[in-house]
């Protein structure tokens, strides 16, 4: 796998680190991760994984967003109440990186 020009621009801070470099960033991009629960812990984890370059993410959460979730589940806002967490999570993560593949 070769890093695209856009990948290099996006992840240049990682690539410039001796312990990661372009080889490491390619491994990060190719990594697959399953997140079980996108609540108080899973929400920021999902954001950081996508931001770091992981492009294949599975999400499992059968819950809907409740107003009581909003103070600790940072992916969601008032407009999302009563919607499924996995659907809103996918929408938000694709705004960070439209190339990611999400399986729910």
User: pLDDT tens digit string along 16-69?
Assistant: 999 999 999 999 999 999 999 999 999 999 999 999 999 999 999 999 999 999
Entry pTM? 0.91
Strand (E) or helix (H) holding 78: none
Q: Which string of DSSP letters, residue by residue, matches 9-35? A: HHTHHHHTSTTTHHHHHHHHHH-EEEE
Q: Is 81 exposed, middle or buried (0-12, 13-18, 19+ CB in 10 A)?
A: middle
Tokens at 9, concatenated: 């621009």
Q: What is the pLDDT of residue 90?
A: 98
Fold of 32-103: FAD/NAD(P)-binding domain (3.50.50)
Domain layout of the chain by residue ranges:
1-30, 32-103
CB contact set of 101 (below 8 Å; sequence gap of 6+) = 55, 56, 57
């Amino acid at each position: 796998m070769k890093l695209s020009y856009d990948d290099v621009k996006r992840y240049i801070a990682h690539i410039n680190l001796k312990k990661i470099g372009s080889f490491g960033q390619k491994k990060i991009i190719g990594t697959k991760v399953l997140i079980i629960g996108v609540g108080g812990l899973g929400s920021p984890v999902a954001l950081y994984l996508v931001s770091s370059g992981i492009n294949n993410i599975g999400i499992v959460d059968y819950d809907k967003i409740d107003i009581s979730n909003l103070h600790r589940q940072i992916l969601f806002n008032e407009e999302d109440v009563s919607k499924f967490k996995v659907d809103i999570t996918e929408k938000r993560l694709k705004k960070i990186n439209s190339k990611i593949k999400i399986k729910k």
